[in-house]
Each structure stands twice: as C-alpha cells, then as structure tokens.
Chains A and B, each alone.
Chain A
Amino acid sequence: MTYHLLSIVLFTPLAGALVLLFVPRAQVDAIRWIANAFALAGFVVSLPLWNFDVQAAQWHFVEKAEWIPSIGATYYLGVDGFSILLILLTTLMGFISVLSSWEAITDRVKEYYIVLLVLQTGMLGAFMSLDFLLFFLFWEVMLVPMYFVIGIWGGGRRLYSAIKFFLYTLVGSVVMLLGILALYFYNHTVTGVYTFDVTQFQQLAVPFNIQRWVFLAFFLGFAIKVPMFPFHTWLPDAHTDAPTAGSVILAAVLLKMGTYGFIRFSLPILPEASHYFVPLIVWLSVIGIVYGALVALAQTDWKRLVAYSSVSHMGMVMLGMFALTPVALTGSIVQQLNHGISTGALFLIVGIVYERRHTREISDYGGLSKVMPVFAVVFLIMTLSSIGLPALNGFIGELLILAGVFVVNKLWAAVAASGIVLGAAYMLWLYQRTMFGTVDKPENAKLTDLNLREFATFAPLIALAVWIGIYPAPLLRRLDTSVARVITRVNSVYGPALAKSNCTTPTAPAITRPPAPTPGAPSLDLTGFAACADEAAPKKPGGK
C-alpha cells in the first residue's frame, strides 16, 4: 500500500476522469458530485505523504518500473520534503478549484471536470517524476488541459490568451528538451549508460561549458513558466481570461513548475552554471519584484492586478532561490506555498464577485464591506497574507528570503524589501476601492454574501495561512533535507553546517571562516551532504 502511495495519489484524479467518461452528460449534478468526490479523495490519499521520515536524506516513497527500456526511460517516482509539500498544495488546490466551479461552470460540464482532473494528474506527475523524460511527459500533458480550460471556459480574449499561453510555454519546453537531451548524451559518454534518471544526473560533474548551455536551455523553459521578468506577459492574459478555477490552478500550482524545475534540476545538476548566472537571475528577479508591484499599482482590472502581484511575488521566490543560502532557499520554498495559498485565494475572491456581477473592473465595485461582511473579512485576511503581515504565512517566506539574501548582498535585500512597501500600497488600495466607501452602484446593493460552499473553499486556506504564520516549524523541518541536498551541491560553504544541523541538536557551530561566499566562486562538495558523520573539522571553504 505505502509502496504504491505515489501512484495512487497520481492516478486518483485520472480515475475520476475515466469514471466521468461513462456518466451521461445530462446528469450534471452527478458529474459535479463525482468530480468533487474524486478531487477530495485525491487530497485525502495524499495526506499520508505528510508523515515521511523528516531526518532521512534519501528519496521517499520511491517506485520504479520499466517504461521504455530501449532508451533507458523508466517509470521512476520519488519525493522529498519539497515535492511532498508541493504535492499536498496541488491536491488541496485541485480540490478547492473543483469545488469552486460548482456554480460557475454551466457549459460542457462533463468535459470541464474531465479536463480539470487530467490536469491534476499531469501536475502531480511532474512533481513526482525522478525520470527526466517522464517529467517532460507530464510537463507537456499539463499544457493541453490548461489550454482547453482557458480557451473553452474562459472569458474576454480567451482564444488569444489560450494560444499565447500554449505557444509561449511550448517554446520554452522545446528548448528545455534540448537541454535534457544534452545531459542524456553527456551522461552516456561518461558512464556508457543511456538513462534519464535525475538522481544520476545530480551526481554528474558536468563540464562548465556544457553546464552553461544546458542551464540556459533549462532557464528558458522554467523562467517562462515561473514567469520571470521579461517572460511574464502571458501570465496576466491567461489569468484574466481563464475561469476562476483555471486562474487558481495556474497561480497556485502551474507557476510552481518553473520554480520546482530550478530547484530540482538547474541548481543541483548544474551548480557551477547556477553560480555563474546568479547576477543575471537575481537582477531579473529584483526587477520583477519592483516592476510587477508598480504595474499592479496601475491596474484597473481586479484580476489583472492580482496577476501582476504574482509576477512580483514570484520574483521574490526566484531571488530567494538564487541567493543560494539555506535560509533564503527555505524561504523561497515556503513562499511558493504561500503564493499558492494567498494568490489562489485572491483569485477565488475575484471569482466570487465576478460570478455575481460579471465585471472585473475595480471601479464597478465599492463599499462591498457593507453588503458582504464575511467576504470582506476573508478578503482582508488574504490581503494581509499577501502583503506579508507577521503572524500570517506571507511574512515567514519573505522574512526568510530577505534574511538569507541580506547576508549575500545588502543591496539586493534593500531593493527587494521595497517591494513589500509597494505590495502594501497596491493591495490596500485595491481593498479600499472595492470594499470601502459607500455602496454607490445599485447593482452592488443586492450582492449576497458567501454561501457555505464558497466559505468552504476559503476555510482551509485561512487555516493554513494562520498556521504557517504562527507555527511554521513542522513545515520548515520538512524542508531541511531537501534544502541541504541542494545547497551542499551549489554552495559548499554551508556544507558542514548543514550536515551538522541535520544530525545533531541545532546549535550554531562555532566555525571561524571567511564571510559569506561570493557568487562566481563555484565549488563542488559532494561529500558534505551525504555524510552526517561529517562532524569533524570543517573543510576548506571553496573546496578548490
């Protein structure tokens, strides 16, 4: 049972889609109930993943089977703390988005739920695959359902947005495939074995010249998905025109594919190139933070504003990742979850009013606090979570990221922190324009507050936001080994400290060594991570 846990989690949504195929399309309510049941089941079966061995540094719940032996591709699933959290986020947000569609989708209901459930399997597969070809398969599988979700059930210029989303991502992924193939053939020349095994790739010492090109190939694929400035313009269009559930999934999970790719593949497989490209990525991220926030400030469309806030937040995630310190990387991962929670909720919030008023223009609203008090509270909490108010989730991520970045470069931290000020500006201004003031539009006077189903979509997100904000320790502990695996690979300065803190009581080791590493001093320290016994005198920094 436990042995096949990942497969069960992976295929539960697909099974739901298969079952739906046999339900007559007229039975709309039955379709809805079945889809919701399978989505909920998908979440429930994924819950046991939470109880993995936090201390153990290996891959958990591994499954391996032959797939295409002739080219060395295998059905190889395995997870660590990082992917487990993303999987849990995916199953939860998947369920929430299915639940939120109950009344919003009335056209082609059967196809809609089938597509949504297939999408769910695609996303889960990408987070679980330890075989690069399998990952790529799931990566591409995700595209098609999302394309349909935007193109068929969207609004506005939905065809334009759907095609833009599809093509833009496809361009990136084709280039990424070239990178994968380069690694594949390089691995063959070194080991004589044809394999797509990611864990094998992570052991490789790829020459810097190849690393650089492969990194750029991966970068294009992942940066478009994140999206990083200046590859972000598909995002506002896709978000604005997608139906609510599509936006929620897009923001909460699909964007994480890019960041997941960076952390799982780019950093550990290409450590020297990662170092080499730190300035490029950091500056794009920092620009993205400020730029996204400023553009969000100029928006008149509620949903587009949230979409641009995503650009800003994902810039923060990328910045934390490429600071290459354990604290910042932990913060980056936490912030990915936070972004899923708070931005997902913000899209749900837009969806709630859009369903009632069929407009996204901010100026069409005003004074909603009066008529929708519960909604106002939910929106307020999620706004505060989004702007990183302490004791809510957003703060934990931003704090860790900025703290981890500060020790590397104070200027980066200072500029990035200004994004927090701007974040408060655009979110609170949005809140004021929509929620405060008097109800001056007669259409708004009769709006109904959240019903029980709608509240149920928010309740878990609010609970998570508060929990992560007040007691993030269980979450952060689950990331220790994942972060250690990546950081020891790319930034050996932290190797001994990480090895130590993972085994013994976490006290600051009294190591005297030169201050923070400078980017561009690449080093490979493969032994530091694996050996918990490595508590002897620290190695020389830089490992040259």
Chain B
Amino acid sequence: MRLIWLLPLIPAAGAAVNGLAGVRWFGRAAAGAVACLAMLSAFAVALTASIALIRLPPEARAYDVTLGPWLPPIPLATAHGIGSFAAEWAFRLDPLATVMILVVTGIGLLIHVYATAYMMDEPRGGYARFFCYLNLFCAFMLLLVLASNFLVMFIGWEGVGLCSYLLIGYWYEKGSAATAGRKAFITNRIGDWGFLLGVFGVFHVFGTLDFHAVAQAVSSLPIEQSHFGELSIICLLLFIGATGKSAQIPLFVWLPDAMEGPTPVSALIHAATMVTAGVYMVGRNAVLFQHAPLVLAIIAIVGTLTALMAATIGLVQNDIKRVLAYSTVSQLGYMFLAAGVGAFAASTFHLLTHAFFKALLFLGSGAVIHAMAGEQDMQRMGGLRRFLPVTFVTMMIGALAIAGIPPLAGFFSKDEILLQAFSKNRALWALGSVTALMTAFYMFRLVALTFYGVYRGPSWPRHVPPAVGGPATLSIATAHGVRHPVDPDAHGLAHVPQHDLSHGPAHPVPIGPAAHAHEWHGPHEAPSAMTWPLMALAVGAIVCGFISIPPALGGTNALERFLEPSFGGTPAAATVEHARQPRADAEPATADQASNGREWALMLLAVTLAGAGVAAAWRLYVTRPEIPVRLAARWPGLHSLLWHKYFVDEFYGATLVRSTFASARGLWTFDARVVDGAVNGSGWMTRTVSWFSGIFDRVVVDGLVNFVGWSADEGSLVVRRGQTGLLQNYLLLIVLGVCVFLTVYLFAR
C-alpha cells in the first residue's frame, strides 16, 4: 500500500517509453508489449494494495501517501481569517479509490490487450503513439482517483481530458475526428470552469483543499435544508464540472461525437473510466454534497432527465457506436440519479458493473466493426451471429446485463438505484423505470439488427480456386503491402482472394482501424487477442453483481458496506439508507419484512419491464421488421426529433458557438477600426497638425523672418538711390542739411 504512488507512474513510464522511443524505433509487438506490461504491473500493484486494504478493519481502511509539496503554502484570506493556500502531491487509498483503481487497471489492461490486435492495421509509429496516449490516459485516471486533494484531482481531471482529446482525434487527418476531439476538450473546459470556481469556493469556506479535511469540516456545519447557501453554490459549481466530464445535460453533446475515436478508446475512456470521473468526484465529496440537499435534488433530476433523454435518442440511432454512446450517457444519468438521492454506494456499484458490461459492449461492437471492415451502420449488418459466434455470445451477455435481466450484473446495480429512488421520490423512480424499459429495448434492437435477421451488408468475393488467382493475385497482395494481419485464414496463399476493384467504393472510409488496406473477405471472427478480453469482460458482467447482493435476496450488500467509510457514514447517509436502517430497530422482523416485500415487488416490476423491452425489440426487429418503418412514418416529427438528438447540437451551434464567433469577428473589427483607429487617428492628427504648423511655419513664422529680410532688401533699394557716389550730390545734401538745420534752429527756438 505504501507504493500506491507508483500506480500513476507505471503507466506514465510506459507512455514515456512509447512516446519517446516507441514512435521511432519500436515495432508493433514491442510497443504493444510495453503498454500492456505497464498496465499489467499497475494492475498487480493495484491488486496488492487492494488486498492489503481489505485486510484492514473497516474503520482503518484509508491510507495516505504524501510525496512532497506541489504548491508551497502562501497566505490567503478565507471566510474565517487568513489561511494558507497550498497543495501537496498527496494520494489516498480508501475503499472508493480501491474500486476505481481496480476498474481502471483491470479493465484498462483488458482493453490494452484488445487494442493490440484491433489497431494492428495502423502504421508502426501511429501504433506506438496510440499506446502512448492510452497509457498516459491510465496514468492521469489513476492520479484522478487516488488524489487526496482537489488540485491533484484536477491534474488528473484535465489530464484525462487531454488524453481523450488526443485519442478522439487519433485519426487526425480525418476532419470530423479532429473536430470531435476539440469539441470534447472545449465542452469539458466549460465544465472545468465550474469545477475550478467550486474548488476556490471550497478553499474560501474551509481553508483547505484536502478531501478528508473538507469532509470533517463540513460535517460540523448545518445542512442547507431549504436555502441556497455557500455550500450549495460550491456543490453546484462542482456539479457543473461533473456534467462536463460525465456528459450530463447540458454538456453531454461531446460524448456521442467522441465515437470518432478508435473503439478501444470508446470502451476505456468514454464508457468505463473517464466519463465516470464526474460520478466519482461527487461520491468523493459525498459528505459535502449531503449538506446541500437542494443541489442533490438538482443532480437527481439532471441525472434522471439525462438518462431518459439519451435513452430515447438511443432508440432510433443506426450507428452501432452511437447507440452505445447514448446508452453510456443514459447509464451515467442513472449514476447521478443514485448520487442525487444520496445513494452514493449504489452509484459506485453501478459505475463498477457498467464499466464491465459497457466496455464489453463497446469491445464487442469493435469486433463487429472489425469484421465488417469499418462499417458502423447497423442497417448494413444483420445475421452476423453465424460469422462471429464469440462476439455474439459475449455481446448478448453484455446486453442482458445492461438490460437488467437477473442474475447479471446490471440487474443488481440498477435495481439498487431504482429502489433508492423509489424511497426518495416516486417520479424519479418512474422515469428511471421507463428508462430501464427503453434501455432493454434499444439494446436488443442493437443485438437484433446486428446479429439476427438477414445479412444486409456488402457482398464479398467468394473464394476462388488458387489456380485462377495464381501469380497475379500474389502480386496484387504484395502491392497492397499488407496481408490480413489478424486473421489466420488470410495467411494461406490459397485464401488470398481475387482483387476486386468494384469492391472499393463500398467502403469509402479511408481512415480507420478496419479500413483494411487489403482485401476484405466477408465478416469474420476477431483474433484471440480480441476475443479473450471479450470473454473476460463477459465473465465480469455476469459475476460482478454478486459482490453486492441486496438483503432481500439473502445477501449483505457487501460492496456498499465496504464503501460506506468513503462516503462519511454521516447521519445524512443514514436517513438515505432508511430502507435498511430499521433492521436495528426494536421490531426488526416486521420492518425487514415490509421493506423486503417492497423490494421484491420493485424487482419484479423492473425485471418485467426489462423483459418487456427485450420482447418488444424482438418483435419489432426480428419477427416483424416492417413495424418500425411504419412507426417512423406515422410519427415523422417525433422520429426526426429523436433522430436529430433533439436538435441540441444545432441549438448550441446557433446560439453559443455562433454568438461567440460573431462577437469575435465583431471585436476584431472594433479593434482594427476603433481602438487601433484611435491610435492611427492620433497619429494622423499629429501629422495633420504638423502639416498645418509646417504651413504656418513656412508662411507666417518664416514669412515674418523673410519679410524682415525682404523689407530690408526693398528698403535698401529705396535708400540706395541716394548713394550715388557723386561728391557733388553729397555736397548738395550737406548744404541742404545745413540750411534746414539753420532754419529750424533759428525759427523754432
């Protein structure tokens, strides 16, 4: 346990090796091996630490490691005097973090293994780059979940966002991928704005950023039952951050677009781990949030509405990954619903089970896409269960799990959430149940469209006798440069199919994992590096529900008990746990029976709804496939609304994005015309004034000077007349002068 600080560092080291050396010198095998080895060692460390933690008595299950200072303390005012703003590189392993590190490293490892085969068609450098990003992601994710204060968590929080950006835009030459990556990052940044302000608020109120210290400090504060005080504002700001990261209303729009990334990325980042960071963060601050019941109500409502909205959109989408993406948004909504009604343990439980079955479904869809050479449209699939038996069975398990069919994992966690919601608010429960029905429906619609019915995809050239292919085929195969790298069938020359030029346009996707640079020869099962992780995840999707069987079914809610210390176990939590609490009362038997009865009824209802969803999907897409078309034709408005995802993207585009760009252009004109215009104007004024003063200088000032000179000149002309140089004239003048003088002298006296 002392080595938990190594957890983020191991994948980071893997990323560094692949990033610095791998992209240049490693082959695919080496790059993949480095990445998987890093994850394997991280998993081993995580497992060791978890076992060590579980062995401790429940109240001692927390372990802190501080590596050193990050931001040294500096005085800063808080609400209660001058505190000191500081942050340390500090990690904390507690039950909640234990669950998360196991999910991140365990499922992360499986997805890494899967990706080694899935990404095989990438160029060598790109392959290493991919695993560098993937390792880096795990490093940041582990940092996020192990952080013991807000700021270290924020490093991981933004770091996973960065990796998400890089991995969504992994095929950066594809414009839509690059745009989707940017959209994800910027949308997340909007959430981060709230998160950061929330963190400042936490410091302002508590004078510390350490989760544990905040939880302790807040438990002595009154619960803001009916007013929206500073705690509520802080929680609301933090929740804005969570809506960004976990794709909730109003910031969910980035997640469906994020499906532009390679499928392993969708499985790891956009299903199992990163998108749950918001849920995790709320759970991490459970005590704080419990003191802001109004915000918890907002969280529950937002979660429920998101779940419902995303599920309705998922009903009509045809892109296999988009269905799963909306399903993820919807399931995250469930987790927030759970957190909102105060059932943080149920929320984490669903996070765990969801990680298994959603990663499984995404990886399964990856296998399907791989089999279909990059095709993602379910309209062009069908009947694939014959070709992909392993994928079919495992995806079926995943679908059953998410639909909530007992005894698979999703049943337990979803049931727990609905039960808690029922005891808190019937409306939330009802909407959650409707969502559960739709979940079962769209998931089995996906299964039906993909694996049942008739094959609707493009045809492929059938095997030709080797004699016909002969040397010509060989040369074409080498011209392509790649043989099918993952399908053992392709390795025999006899199976190298004839080069069919007409086949090209059927697969116009130029960039993509399965845009095989070589001949495609029909849907085929994925190689074992891909099927093994599928099978492992399927096992997880079956059994991981059993770790927290509700008492009504004779279990002990083991996971919830385990997690309780992380959520504070405060009185607030106790009231939420009312369904169970009466057990300690004077009449345990009756209370127990009553609540058990209710639980049984709710479970039965939930299973019925799930079954109804499955049956409806079965009827609409397997036995009577013409019905959906008719339904869509009868309500074109509704269908269009769902098909266009409620036009939310269009709405944001027309308002937020457009106004930002309009104001940007407007201000740029303003800057050039007005602000710089003033500068240039004053320059122009100076020049004009100087021109006038130049004129003035030349005409008036210099004119005056010249006038003096001129007048002297002209005057001298006049005077010169007298200067004749003739002695007689001068003599005459003298005589005249003497006469005048004498006259004046004599008469003027």
Contact = CB atoms under 8 A, between A and B. Distances in A.
Interface of A: 164, 167-168, 229-230, 232-234, 291, 294-295, 297-299, 325-327, 330, 367, 369-370, 373, 384, 389-391, 395-396, 399-400, 402-404, 406-408, 410, 413-414, 417-418, 420-422, 424-425, 428-429, 432, 435-438, 470-473, 476-477, 480, 483, 493-494, 496-498, 501, 506-513, 515-517
Contacts of A508: 73, 75, 82-84, 207
Contacts of A436: 169, 172-173, 175, 178
B9 to A, nearest CB: 12
Contacts of A403: 76, 85, 200, 203
A402 to B, nearest CB: 7
A497 B85 CA distance: 12
B667 A428 contact: no
Contacts of A389: 158-159, 162
B667 A291 contact: yes
Q: Which of B71, B175, B660, B663 has the most CB of A within 10 A?
A: B71
Contact of B71 (A232, A297, A400, A517): A400
Contacts of A417: 193, 196-197
Contact of A432 (B182, B192, B665): B182
A171 to B, nearest CB: 9
Given A298-B668, A389-B162, A509-B82, A424 B186 contact: yes
28 contacts: A164-B679, A233-B671, A291-B667, A291-B671, A294-B663, A295-B667, A325-B77, A327-B74, A327-B75, A367-B173, A390-B154, A391-B159, A395-B158, A399-B151, A407-B204, A408-B77, A413-B197, A413-B200, A417-B193, A421-B186, A422-B660, A432-B169, A436-B178, A507-B84, A508-B75, A511-B82, A512-B80, A515-B77
Cβ-closest 4 pairs across A and B? A497-B75, A298-B668, A436-B178, A233-B676
Given A233-B671, A417-B197, A295 B664 contact: yes
Given A418-B193, A515-B77, A428 B186 contact: yes
Contacts of B72: 473, 476-477, 506
B78 A407 contact: yes
B703 interface: no
Contacts of B125: 373
A406 B78 CA distance: 10
Interface in B188-206: 189-190, 192-193, 196-197, 200-201, 203-204
Contacts of B661: 297-298
Nearest to B172: A436
Contacts of B173: 367, 370, 436-438
Contacts of B334: none
Nearest to B190: A421
A390 B150 CA distance: 12
A291 to B, nearest CB: 6
Contacts of A509: 75, 81-82
B569 interface: no
B71 A407 contact: no
A407 B77 contact: yes
A402 B201 CA distance: 11
A269 B562 CA distance: 60
Nearest to B158: A390
B155 interface: yes
B185 interface: yes
A417 B185 CA distance: 16
Contacts of A494: 75, 77, 82
B71 A396 contact: yes
A298 B667 contact: yes
B179 interface: yes
Contacts of B193: 417-418, 420-421
A298 B207 CA distance: 40
A515 B79 contact: yes
Given A298-B664, A389-B158, A513 B81 contact: yes
B69 interface: yes
Interface residues of B, number: 62
Interface of B: 23, 68-86, 125, 151, 154-155, 157-159, 162, 165, 169, 172-173, 175, 178-179, 182, 185-186, 189-190, 192-193, 196-197, 200-201, 203-204, 207, 660-661, 663-665, 667-668, 671, 675-676, 678-679, 683
Contact of A402 (B82, B190, B200): B200
Given A168-B679, A297-B661, A298-B664, A327 B81 contact: no
Contacts of A421: 186, 189-190, 192-193
Given A428-B185, A508-B84, 11 more contacts: A391-B155, A410-B197, A424-B185, A437-B175, A473-B72, A480-B74, A498-B75, A508-B73, A513-B81, A515-B79, A517-B77
A407 B186 contact: no
Nearest to B79: A515
Contacts of B185: 424, 428
Contact of B178 (A437, A477, A496): A437
Contact of B189 (A167, A233, A234, A424): A424
A507 B739 CA distance: 113
Contacts of B23: 373
A391 B204 CA distance: 23
A112 B76 CA distance: 47
A327 B85 contact: yes
A167 B683 contact: yes
A510 B81 contact: yes
Contacts of A407: 76-78, 200, 204
B178 A297 contact: no
Contacts of A472: 70-71
A93 B298 CA distance: 51
B179 A390 contact: no
Contacts of B201: 406
Nearest to A296: B664
B82 A497 contact: yes
Nearest to B663: A294
A493 B77 CA distance: 9
Contacts of B660: 294, 297, 422, 425
A369 B177 CA distance: 14
A330 B72 CA distance: 11
A432 B185 CA distance: 12
A425 B190 CA distance: 10
A115 B91 CA distance: 52
B172 A369 contact: yes
B24 to A, nearest CB: 9
A414 B85 contact: no
Given A167-B683, A403-B76, A425-B186, A493 B82 contact: yes
Nearest to B162: A389
Nearest to B510: A438
A399 B151 CA distance: 9
Nearest to A387: B189
B671 to A, nearest CB: 5
B90 to A, nearest CB: 14
Contact of A325 (B76, B159, B197, B207): B76
B197 A406 contact: yes
B77 A516 contact: yes
A295 B75 contact: no
B74 A476 contact: yes
A481 B81 CA distance: 22
B582 to A, nearest CB: 44
Nearest to B201: A406
Nearest to A234: B679
Contacts of A517: 77
A435 B177 CA distance: 13
Q: Which of B71, B74, B664 has the most CB of A within 10 A?
A: B74
Nearest to A237: B676
A452 to B, nearest CB: 15
Contacts of B154: 390
Contacts of A384: 162
B681 to A, nearest CB: 11
Contacts of A396: 71
B661 to A, nearest CB: 7
